[in-house]
């Protein structure tokens, strides 16, 4: 039997199939438990083990939510919303994300002394990578959700990002711009579409001309 038959799938396994690694299962734990009841999916990956907290926090220290409901009505951890200039929110589906920034530093070697003098010149933009899976609720290809994501990518405008991780790293009012969008292939499952996108932080500057 095909490992990814419509009646048997696990999001952790799908991530591993598409991107070559298995994210921590708590990211999709609640959704997987629901999908298992509906579709009879295989057991969750035993690669990780986490104790359940006595009381979960709903929001981080900046007020961004830790949990949200995806298009299928299932709860996911660390959801990501992109907000357009008209205030319309778009939730990226079933995501795993990473965020990184680098410093530009000038190092000056000292004569007859060990080491160097390091001068911090600037801090680069935050670069955000998002991998996700769109799941169609009608067991067919999720063409409408894919089209909505493409239209969001085609916008020539910066977007507000609402996420429990990025809200800590980015400054208040700092937005993001979509740099790339990719739809990897996933064989054997017609109702799923993996996607990957790269975003970069966008700081607004005021230019004064004298």
Cα 206 to Cα 202, 203, 209: the distances in Å are 13, 10, 10
Closest CA to 126 of 66, 95, 169, 160: 169
152-187: pLDDT as tens digits: 999 989 999 999 999 999 988 899 999 999 999 887
For 185, the token pair is 């292939």
Q: Which residue(s) pair with 160 in the sheet?
A: 83
Specify burial of residue 71 (Cβ count, 10 A radius: 0-12, 13-18, 19+): middle
- Which helix (H) or strand (E) element contains residue 104? strand 103-109
> Rounded to an integer, what distance in angstroms lies between the CA atom of residue 98 and that of residue 144?
26
| CA-based torsion, 153, 155, 158, 161: positive or negative | negative
Q: Is the pLDDT of residue 201 over 60?
A: yes
Residue scoring higher pLDDT (127 or 23): 127
Would you list the domain boundaries of the chain?
11-48+55-202
Average pLDDT of every residue of the chain: 81
CATH number, span 11-48+55-202: 2.40.30.200
**Is 47 within 8 Å of 72 (Cβ atoms)?**
no
Comparing 61-65, 117-121, 131-135, 179-183, the range with the smallest average pLDDT is 117-121
For position 50, what pLDDT does the model report? 54
For position 25, what pLDDT does the model report? 61
What are all long-range contacts of 49-56, with beta carbons under 8 Å and residues at least 24 apart?
Answer: 50/24, 50/26
Cα 94 to Cα 73, 75, 203, 205: the distances in Å are 11, 9, 27, 33
């Amino acid at each position: 039997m095909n490992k990814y038959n419509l009646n048997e799938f696990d999001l952790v396994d799908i991530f591993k199939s598409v991107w070559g690694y298995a994210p921590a299962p708590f990211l999709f734990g609640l959704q997987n438990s629901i999908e298992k009841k509906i579709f009879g999916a295989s057991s969750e990956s035993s690669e990780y083990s986490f104790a359940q907290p006595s009381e979960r926090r709903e929001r981080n220290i900046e007020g961004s939510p830790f949990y949200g409901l995806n298009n299928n009505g299932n709860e996911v951890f660390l959801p990501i919303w992109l907000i357009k200039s008209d205030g319309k929110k778009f939730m990226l589906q079933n995501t795993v994300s990473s965020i990184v920034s680098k410093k530009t530093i000038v190092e000056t070697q000292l004569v007859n002394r060990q080491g160097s003098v390091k001068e911090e010149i600037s801090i680069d933009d935050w670069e955000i990578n998002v991998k996700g899976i769109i799941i169609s609720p009608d067991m067919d290809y999720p063409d409408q959700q894919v089209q909505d994501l493409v239209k969001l990518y085609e916008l020539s405008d910066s977007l507000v990002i609402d996420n429990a991780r990025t809200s800590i790293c980015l400054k208040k009012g700092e937005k993001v711009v979509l740099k790339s969008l990719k739809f990897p292939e996933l064989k054997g499952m017609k109702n799923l579409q993996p996607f990957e996108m790269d975003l970069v932080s966008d700081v607004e500057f005021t230019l004064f001309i004298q």
